[in-house]
Amino acid sequence: MNPLTQFKKMPILPLLIALALVVVAAAGAAGAAISDFNGDGHQDFVLQNGCKHKTAIWYLNNNVYTGSAPGPTLGFWFLVGAADFNRDGHPDYLSLDSGISPDTEIWYLSGRTLVGTAHGPSVPRVPSGWGWWGVGDFNGDGYPDYVLYNATTRQTAIWYLRNNVFISGAYGPTLPVGWSFDDSCDPWGYG
């Protein structure tokens, strides 16, 4: 499969947003995510300052910046992604512990206000060479799932969740030679 032909099948806006997030990550943001934070039907950017761990939400109308607002400060956690983990209609943050152990935590939000937290699923430690990459609903059950990536083998894996409970896992596709995920969500080199 030629990965370039797959881009032709993608809607242009998600592709542009994904490319913009790669640029943002390269510019020094510790993490970045995409979700609709103001309920206007348009995806917004969430950016995290790599030094202060503050987050900011950039509101977009398609590809046009319309304003921003501060989000919660993540302390010593790093932003991995955003999705509605508790199914309340508001995106939540998935964050990664800044310590030695690669623990995750879900930060439940109402708009941009933190309303609670929960530790990520109780699963075995992420295998050596693997790192957290993102979040999305891969099995269509309405619950976000974790994406893991091994930069050495270019292998992907999906951990299926129900809220913050691990249900099962499966390997995803191996990326073609010369292609990789951006590793900005793996600040300690786990993957």
Which tokens belong to 66? 């319309």
pLDDT band at 98 (very low <50, low <70, confident <90, very high): low
| Residue-wise pLDDT tens digits, 104-161 | 889 999 998 999 999 877 555 677 788 878 888 889 999 999 888 898 998 999 989 8
Which tokens belong to 90? 């508001």
Q: How far apart are CA 151 and CA 166, in angstroms?
A: 23
Residue 63: inside a domain: yes
Residue 127: give its domain's CATH number.
2.110.10
Residue 181: inside a domain: no
Q: How far apart are CA 55 and CA 73, in angstroms?
A: 6
The parent domain of residue 157 ranges over: 3-174
Determine which of 5-19, 20-34, 83-97, 171-185 has the lowest per-residue pLDDT on average: 5-19
Residue 186: inside a domain: no
CA distances 180 to 39, 124, 174, Å, are 32, 25, 10
pTM here?
0.71
* Rg of the chain taking only CA atoms, in angstroms: 16
Under DSSP, the state recorded for 125 is P
